[in-house]
Chains A and B, each alone.
Chain A
């Protein structure tokens, strides 16, 4: 057993031994010390298992994961690559409200899309609350033009704050790809969308300053 793994188990054991109750952590029975210990235990335990040198099975490639997900899950599926998190995951649709669809990972992190256009994320820690792109019709119709894009985020003080960007839309270097260039607040980013019959089949879209870009591929519409 690696030392890191040992420490992980020790901390986890401490957390469970150090504070116990008949309720859940929700009920606030553990006290700040107990709650902190249990969080630390979780974090260390998950780090330890990730750093394990002899995993039970070799990790699946994104392509293999996609094939398996298509086989076992009948719901609409996407594959999302979070560039700053360095992971690619299959996400399944868990709800649809009009054109708005919510896709989730098994760990219940969510992407919210409107016909392929990213309008929110949940459960990622630096989530995009909601995006209001006025460029949407330009992108869908394949026309060039300018528009504003408002992206709302939670700031650390618990308020939802808007950031407004000026965007220009135009055809990209590759056929069938629309590119949206946005600037504002000292930031700039570029979203690209590849359409297929009015739907966005593949895209690379900017979530926010911390999470950066996500690449979204439709596996099953």
Chain B
């Protein structure tokens, strides 16, 4: 990265003097108009109607709302200032579906705050509710919100669709999943509004006027009433009570006769319990003695002594081990030292580099002026940060941007002269036995499912980049049982495992698509030990910025074979390009060493780009597990503290009918570092992907160790985004 760009990026991180303290000290209404309550649809709002409020940028929240009309589980993400997104899973009562008297429905909402409140002008937002396909909740709105007094806030808007009490007719032939632009803002509008009164810090009361009449109409003429009775008035009332900073409970009425209850949680990545972490203070810089006090050390003549480097390397390696770093190797001359480290403790690579630099000032003789700190991804070097020792001494404990400006980042040398591997690092054997918990969070038809058991996992690193990994799992209890895929044309009816095993033709759908993921439940519910993974992986770096991976063995729960990948990613570039090819065979459902008949060669080419402000984009084009061809686009927002929230969509050449409900595959991925929540330094993460039910179109192979995420942690964009922790 060019220097000026670097400085600009750093300035961008330090300029907004946003309040580290804001909400704790200023009780008055903060500048952007922030939501007081969440609506039952998971948006800033009254009860059923929206308001023009927003959430603090980056907020991730969940709202569970329960009434006779529906149970709704909403996941809310403030993707950008002003842009609020909601993914909703609903159980809508009163609409027959098979033997049941309810349907399970998934829907997406978007709301954008066009202007914030300023002076006499109210905040104004426009929103789309349930906008992918025609859904039960489809509606659009434009709404304005204004503070009348410091405690009373009023909203008024115009709604279309359900918000106007004119529910859209649902096309029974539609497989859903695509925006139905023709319907938007059509069919006549009606006004709605709400008033909220903040009684005190905890309690707020809301009254609203809503037009929703809770009907659902289908193109084949059926019309159903959601719940038991139509709301007998347009007035809804609610009381919300805040518990701590993150939680809120509420009760509400829809009309006069239907009551509901609600629970919300909102996590703001900016509000960590221990923002600076609880890790121990780093060892301080040790400045060099004057040349008069240590003439031999300054002359560099010590480097002629063959015992010098082993002794220094041992001492530095031990000190780094205390900091959770492995000193993989070191090259030492009288003027320059390069260390290659593996960071095992800190979320931000800059913190590992900063601590290493300080330890180097304590371990190296005074003549060594140039420090090169090379980060490795499990032994494969990914970037080199070069610092002058004088700068480290001069700038200790100053604003992090100053040492950033004095550093350079480059691709590591392929074969540096004099690089000596530390003793006793390889071969390296690690094992662990740990509990596991598999949660099926939002499988619409099944509700929340779980499985608990024990997993033993071992890794044997034979040499840098050559790893043998195996895992063994034993289920203990859970409510995920083995079953076949759904019977085509019948809702919530599934083949039994016996039926599915007895008839091999069932492994292809009636549309002729091989079942590559839709029979994933056949792999669950095993009461015997299973082998989720058993692989030999080989990572190398043939040129300065090309990385390769070959993985062979039982790659994942359902597939085994060989996977090969190549990635071009210079350390100082926001661009990356890669390609992957896999030859895999479907594993047997007992997840041991036998295979089924289905075999496929698939793969893709990928382009990656890291934007400013932590946005990264990835495009994959290629062939998926079922042999379908298409592309995946993913967009991820990543915070310096390690939070990652992303969305992806895959469209392949399968027709909507072949693909099934939803037309194309899409989902949301979340990953939160444990260190953010506990303050304890750790690279451990809690992560999950919310996606549509397992379908066969656009299915990707789940091989571990893909190169891009391994490599970019220590490369320019991500490294400098988290650079603020250098002097930690």
- Interfacial residues, chain A to chain B (CB-CB below 8 A): 18-36, 39, 94-98, 100, 102, 104, 107-110, 112, 119-120, 122-127, 129-130, 132, 152-164, 185-187, 208-210
Residues A36 and B676 in contact in the complex (CB < 8 Å), given A97-B287, A157-B58, A158-B725: no
* B270 at the binding interface (Cβ < 8 Å): yes
* B276 at the binding interface (Cβ < 8 Å): yes
Q: Which residues of A contact B678 (CB under 8 A)?
A: 36, 39
| Interchain residue pairs with CB less than 8 A apart (26) | A18-B435, A21-B432, A22-B432, A28-B683, A32-B686, A33-B435, A34-B432, A35-B674, A35-B682, A36-B674, A95-B283, A100-B397, A122-B281, A123-B278, A125-B277, A154-B277, A155-B20, A156-B275, A158-B642, A159-B724, A160-B399, A161-B14, A161-B18, A163-B17, A185-B19, A185-B21
What CA separation (Å) do A107 and B272 show in the bound complex?
Answer: 22
**Chain A proximity of B681: nearest CB distance (Å):** 8
Residues A19 and B433 in contact in the complex (CB < 8 Å), given A95-B286, A127-B276: yes
The dominant DSSP class at the A interface is mixed
What CA separation (Å) do A205 and B676 show in the bound complex?
Answer: 28
Partner of B282 from the list A96, A122, A208 (CB cut-off 8 Å) is A122
Q: Which of B20, B273, B324, B396 has the most CB of A within 10 A?
A: B20
Which residues of chain B from 320 to 358 have any CB-CB distance to chain A below 8 Å in the complex?
324, 344-345, 347-348
Q: Is the CB of A31 within 8 A of B436?
A: yes
Partner of A159 from the list B13, B274, B398, B399 (CB cut-off 8 Å) is B13
Q: Which residues of B contact A35 (CB under 8 A)?
A: 674, 682, 684
Give 9 nearest A-B pairs by CB, closest first.
A95-B284, A158-B640, A158-B641, A21-B432, A160-B724, A110-B281, A156-B272, A125-B274, A122-B281
* B415 at the binding interface (Cβ < 8 Å): no
The dominant DSSP class at the B interface is loop
**Chain A proximity of B676: nearest CB distance (Å):** 7
Closest to B459 in A: A29
- Interfacial residues, chain B to chain A (CB-CB below 8 A): 13-14, 16-21, 24-26, 58, 268-287, 324, 344-345, 347-348, 393, 396-400, 429-437, 455, 457, 639-643, 674, 676, 678-680, 682-686, 721-722, 724-725, 727-728
Q: Is the CB of A153 within 8 A of B275?
A: yes
Q: Is the CB of B676 within 8 A of A156?
A: yes
Residues A30 and B684 in contact in the complex (CB < 8 Å), given A18-B434, A35-B674, A161-B16: yes
Residues A26 and B284 in contact in the complex (CB < 8 Å), given A39-B678, A157-B641: no
Q: Is the CB of A34 within 8 A of B434?
A: yes
What CA separation (Å) do A127 and B434 show in the bound complex?
Answer: 34
What CA separation (Å) do A51 and B486 show in the bound complex?
Answer: 56
**Chain B proximity of A75: nearest CB distance (Å):** 13
Residues A123 and B280 in contact in the complex (CB < 8 Å), given A25-B682, A153-B20, A157-B640: yes
Q: Is the CB of B432 within 8 A of A130?
A: no
Q: Which residues of B contact A130 (CB under 8 A)?
A: 397-399, 727
Q: Is the CB of A155 within 8 A of B270?
A: yes
Q: Which residues of B contact A109 (CB under 8 A)?
A: 280-281
Closest to B686 in A: A32
Q: Which residues of B contact A97 (CB under 8 A)?
A: 284-287, 393, 396
**Chain B proximity of A4: nearest CB distance (Å):** 21
**Chain A proximity of B524: nearest CB distance (Å):** 19
**Chain A proximity of B674: nearest CB distance (Å):** 6
Partner of B287 from the list A24, A31, A98, A210 (CB cut-off 8 Å) is A98
Q: Is the CB of A22 within 8 A of B431?
A: yes
What CA separation (Å) do A158 and B681 show in the bound complex?
Answer: 13
Q: Is the CB of B20 within 8 A of A161?
A: yes
Partner of A19 from the list B25, B435, B685 (CB cut-off 8 Å) is B435
Given contacts A33-B435, A129-B727, A154-B20, 5 further A-B contacts (CB under 8 A): A20-B433, A29-B457, A125-B276, A129-B399, A158-B640
Q: Is the CB of A161 within 8 A of B432?
A: no
**Chain A proximity of B594: nearest CB distance (Å):** 28
What CA separation (Å) do A124 and B344 show in the bound complex?
Answer: 22
What CA separation (Å) do A138 and B20 show in the bound complex?
Answer: 28
Partner of B270 from the list A23, A123, A157, A163 (CB cut-off 8 Å) is A157
Q: Which residues of A contact B279 (CB under 8 A)?
A: 123
Partner of B14 from the list A22, A119, A125, A159 (CB cut-off 8 Å) is A159
What CA separation (Å) do A153 and B287 show in the bound complex?
Answer: 25
Q: Is the CB of A27 within 8 A of B272?
A: no
Closest to A98 in B: B287
**Chain B proximity of A110: nearest CB distance (Å):** 3
What CA separation (Å) do A160 and B16 show in the bound complex?
Answer: 10
What CA separation (Å) do A39 and B274 show in the bound complex?
Answer: 14
What CA separation (Å) do A110 and B281 show in the bound complex?
Answer: 6
Q: Which residues of A contact B685 (CB under 8 A)?
A: 32
Q: Which residues of A contact B432 (CB under 8 A)?
A: 19-23, 29-31, 34
Q: Which residues of B contact A185 (CB under 8 A)?
A: 17, 19, 21, 25
Closest to B277 in A: A125
Q: Is the CB of B431 within 8 A of A104?
A: no
Residues A19 and B676 in contact in the complex (CB < 8 Å), given A122-B728, A155-B18, A158-B722: no
What CA separation (Å) do A6 and B332 show in the bound complex?
Answer: 53
**Chain A proximity of B691: nearest CB distance (Å):** 20
